[in-house]
A = this chain, B = another copy of it.
Amino acid sequence: MEDEVDRLVAAWRRERPDLDVEPLEVLSRVSRLARHLDRARRLAFSEHSLEPWEFDVLTALRRAGAPYQLSPGQLLTQTLVTSGTMTNRIDRLAQKGLVERLPDPSDRRGVLVRLTDEGRDRADRALAGLLEQERAILSQLSPAQRTELAGLLRRLTAPFDNVPG
């Protein structure tokens, strides 16, 4: 089955036969698939009245385990947004009663963000819905292919996740 990237690559080979556009076969698919996934996630979360950005923050806290609290800085590395964005997200989640800000007892510069009970329930319910949807998308692949794909992607993400940048 052909996709948009096949058409895109064919067009480049026609227009710029002097260039080797093979990298696009992988990385353009990654970017486009992520965009499609964003849209699908937005739809799936709307059943739980959650936005994708809310889900990202709430589940990061949920994963931390009891007492479900992390610093804004820790949330940054998990969600890949800037600090200004995170401040804003925490503000809005706190206003909705899904998280609360506490002073960090061991560092007076710092803050701890803690999930409320309602925040935890919302995160748990939305996660179940997301997994169901993702399984449907991945049904195009056999279990072995999914493992293979995850392994290849890890080789690309690891350098980003393990350097200072």
Contact = CB atoms under 8 A, between A and B. Distances in A.
Interface of A: 1-6, 8, 11-12, 14-16, 19-27, 29-38, 62-65, 77-78, 80, 124, 127-128, 131, 134-135, 137-138, 140-141, 145-150, 152-162
B19 A131 contact: yes
Nearest to A8: B63
A153 B138 CA distance: 10
A15 B145 contact: no
23 contacts: A1-B154, A1-B155, A1-B162, A4-B157, A6-B154, A8-B78, A14-B65, A16-B124, A19-B127, A24-B131, A25-B146, A25-B147, A25-B150, A26-B146, A27-B134, A30-B37, A31-B37, A32-B80, A36-B80, A138-B156, A140-B155, A145-B152, A149-B149
A105 B82 CA distance: 46
B5 A157 contact: yes
Q: Please name the 5 residue pairs, one residue from A and one from B, whose CB atoms are nearest each other, closest first.
A: A34-B34, A23-B134, A25-B150, A11-B63, A29-B153
